[in-house]
Structure 1
Amino acid sequence: MKELLFLKPVFKEMIWGGTRLKVDFHYEIPSNNTGECWAISAHQNGDCEIINGFYKGYTLSKLWSEHRDIFGNVNQEVFPLLVKIIDAKDDLSIQVHPDDTYAKENEDGSLGKTECWYILDCDEDAEIVIGHNANSKDELREMIGKNAWTDLIRILPIKKGDFFQIEPGTVHAIKKGTLILETQQNSDITYRLYDYGRLQNGKPRELHLSKSVDVIRCPHVDKQANHEKLEYPNATKEHLVTCPYYTVYKIEIYGKQEFTQDKPFTLISIIEGSGEIDGIPIHKGDHFIIPSDYGTYQLTGNLQLIASYI
């Protein structure tokens, strides 16, 4: 069917979460410690519901299972991507993700977790953790054993509009005062390396030191970006990343512009502004899927959006 699929987000409360999902996106959030909006997800821990059209009321996982033709008959067991908005009022734990091979062997057949971050907004002096300073696994173990976190962890300044690709095995953490859009594999596997000694319900949160050391890449190597920008009469399309799991673009619309959906499916998140897609009103905070064989579509208005596909 030539029909866009709009989704109802799932919200997650976190000890580091805040209220910006309500303030910035006007979502109805469960509490003042809401850290994550799972905006396009078919994961069992947060399965989004279709809120319009013929398939209204279906979960995304049910639609994937029963109507694969909508998604170009992609031959993958689970819906491959997950899109989140993350509000970090406080620092997240320092963590690392496994790749597919390690996750399959050690996490009951789960996918690994490759992800990327687009910085929607951040405090003026905001920072992020990407990478570490150990040259080998032995040095990594030694620095962890000595609690030499200040020497081990690599901290970078960030600004609105920055973009980071986080490969499996990369030590990383979002720090306080940061709002990001994350595109990732459909996985919820995270190994916590360090949590600043914080307590939750009077107890430290679980760390996963052995698995973290197993998967951390030594030494750390930065992923080089190729941010090619395509110019259209009334739009720009900036390539953010292509990897084996996804391609991600940022698109800005200032007027009226046609595009063609020629992928198995395309995920769209509106991150600024308002307008229309084929006459349907859209605004900041909307998330939808353009299905297979949809063909040409027209975006109108003043919009910024993140688009991704496999």
Structure 2
Amino acid sequence: MNKDIIFLNPVCTHNIWGGTRLNREFGYSIEGDDIGECWGISAHPSGDGTVRNGAFQGMKLSELWEKHPELFGNTGMDRFPLLVKIIDAKDDLSIQVHPDDAYAKVHENGSLGKTECWFILDCKENATLVVGHNAKTREELEQMIQEGKWKKFIREIPIKPGDFIQIDPGTVHAIKGGTLLLETQQSSDITYRVYDYDRLSNGKPRQLHIAQSIDVITVPAKSAENSVVHTEKKDDAIQQLIQCPYYTVYRIDVEHRVETWQDKPFVLMSVVKGEGTLNGTHLKKGDHLILPDGYGKVELQGRMQIIASTI
């Protein structure tokens, strides 16, 4: 079986709130000062990555998943399950919420729901994110939204680089301007916009999804204390950040040399800082790659930080 590392050419997107850091700091060759997202590892129709190297060079990840299920542990899943993005928010994103699998299946043509998580790469001093809301009951939630009492409704929580936030379906959330983060999520593009600061895009307000939002928002919200995990560099180079039904996410800090073993159906890796090697193959900031099923021993050398995930 082909045991090569699968490197991917990502897909970048223009967004009303995007900036220039994905080009400037990560070297992605896309022009413009509104580049909001790099879909680093994705087989979603809205941004299907292309294999950069080896026997499958030029193939879309969705096609590789379909034609070579053995590379991904023959999971039997009907689509590639995860999506990894780097997001550069120059301005605030809209206040939004995602449905779960059951709601999306019925209301969004069989789509997956969207559970996601964020690892904060960089942010302003005293930065905050919107995570959760202040409504105590569904009636209060509906009233606050319908009457536009956004200051009362929206809950902001402080963040710093290295923080990790799990965003379960039903969680009101928004990334604030000046924040750079890596997102690991289910392979879904379903977002319900609750509020967009009355911004105009091409002269018109962007579509809101008030009825769907009220349907799916969890009331009351999870406590602010339980919403953010402060991760620190530890002696152990590999830290598990979360394990949930859809993914397990790890932070890997390589100072000199780290050895591990790839015994999962597949492992996704994104290099978010520095450079080094993986079993002798050069890695640099901005690289996105997949270690296929049965890859075996992994030796990382150099000085770099990697966010890895698997199912």
Fold-level similarity (TM above 0.5): yes
CA contact (8 A) 1:226 1:239 kept: no
Equivalent position of 2:173 in the other structure: 172
CA RMSD of aligned residues (A): 1.5
Equivalent position of 2:134 in the other structure: 133
Task: Find out whether 1:109 has 2:114 as its counterpart.
Answer: no
Question: How far apart are the structure 1 equivalents of 2:189 and 2:54?
Answer: 29
C-alpha displacement at 1:224, in angstroms?
A: 5.9
Question: How far apart are the structure 2 equivalents of 1:80 and 1:51?
Answer: 20
Task: Find out whether 1:33 has 2:48 as its counterpart.
Answer: no
Structure 1: stretches of 5+ with no match in the other structure: none
TM-score normalised by L of structure 2: 0.96
Equivalent position of 1:281 in the other structure: 282
Equivalent position of 1:195 in the other structure: 196
C-alpha displacement at 1:225, in angstroms?
A: 6.8
Deviates more, 1:260-269 or 1:26-35: 26-35
Which portions of structure 1, spanning 4 or more consecutive aligned residues, are displaced by more than 4 angstroms? 223-232
Equivalent position of 2:91 in the other structure: 90
Distance 1:50 1:120, change over 3 A: same
Task: Find out whether 1:99 has 2:100 as its counterpart.
Answer: yes
Structure 2: stretches of 5+ with no match in the other structure: none
Equivalent position of 1:291 in the other structure: 292
Question: How far apart are the structure 1 equivalents of 2:299 and 2:267?
Answer: 14
Question: How far apart are the structure 1 equivalents of 2:21 and 2:283?
Answer: 20
Question: How far apart are the structure 2 equivalents of 1:231 and 1:12?
Answer: 34
Percent sequence identity over matched residues? 56
Equivalent position of 2:269 in the other structure: 268
Question: How far apart are the structure 1 equivalents of 2:203 and 2:88?
Answer: 24
Q: How does 1:201-280 map to 2 (within 5 A)?
A: 201-222=202-223, 223=226, 236-280=237-281
C-alpha displacement at 1:176, in angstroms?
A: 0.3
C-alpha displacement at 1:125, in angstroms?
A: 2.9
Equivalent position of 2:309 in the other structure: 308
TM-score normalised by L of structure 1: 0.96
C-alpha distance after superposition, 1:18-38 (max 9, x if no partner): 001012112112311000000
Equivalent position of 1:63 in the other structure: 64
C-alpha displacement at 1:230, in angstroms?
A: 10
Question: How far apart are the structure 1 equivalents of 2:15 and 2:54?
Answer: 33
C-alpha distance after superposition, 1:203-260 (max 9, x if no partner): 110000000000000000145677899977xx61111111000000101011122210
Amino acid in structure 1 at the alignment position of 2:105: K
How many equivalent pairs are there?
Answer: 308
Task: Find out whether 1:80 has 2:86 as its counterpart.
Answer: no
Task: Find out whether 1:16 has 2:17 as its counterpart.
Answer: yes
State the SS of the aligned residue for 1:54. Answer: helix
Equivalent position of 2:159 in the other structure: 158
C-alpha distance after superposition, 1:178-199 (max 9, x if no partner): 0000000000000000000000
CA contact (8 A) 2:273 2:285 kept: yes
CA contact (8 A) 1:38 1:84 kept: yes
C-alpha distance after superposition, 1:32-71 (max 9, x if no partner): 1000000000000000000000110110000000000000
